[in-house]
Amino acid sequence: MKARVPRGPSNNNMLEQIQKMQEEMQRKQQELEEREYEVKAGGGLLRVVMTGKKQLKEVEIDAEIVDPDDIETLQDLIVAAVNEAVTTVEESAAREMEKITSSVQLPNLPGMPRM
């Protein structure tokens, strides 16, 4: 009995596609790390800037929201803005990486689930 070889791109072609995808992902990762993401909270009275490496780079607080008798609200706004910035960075990276990985066409291999 002869083994059936999957039809589709040759193994070399598949390896080339995977290597190209890895190179694109590395370039994109570098690009994403260099980006800056700005998030505003409190109606724009609080602004944070975060890098693609999820490092907080800048916090700008409008004096209008600084109330010495209500520090908790300011603290909550800062936490919310930073958390939203982290989420924005992660979602942006996921979208960009999905574009790269979805472009690679791998053959259907026996016993492997389809993606």
Structural domain tally of the chain? 1
Question: Does residue 17 form part of some domain?
Answer: no
Q: In terms of Cα–Cα distance, which of 101, 80, 83, 75 is closest to 20?
A: 101
pLDDT in tens, 36-60: 999 999 999 999 999 999 999 999 9
Q: How many residues does the chain have?
A: 115
Question: Does residue 108 form part of some domain?
Answer: no
Question: Does residue 52 form part of some domain?
Answer: yes
Judge contact between 72 and 64, C-beta under 8 A.
no
This prediction has a pTM of: 0.72
Residue range(s) defining the domain that contains residue 97: 28-101
Question: Does residue 44 form part of some domain?
Answer: yes
Output the domain CATH number for residue 48.
Answer: 3.30.1310.10
Which residues are 51's β-sheet partners?
36
pLDDT in tens, 18-33: 888 899 999 999 999 9
Query: How far is Cα 38 from Cα 58, in angstroms, rounded to an integer?
Result: 9
| Dihedral sign for Cα atoms in the order 64, 83, 27, 9 | negative
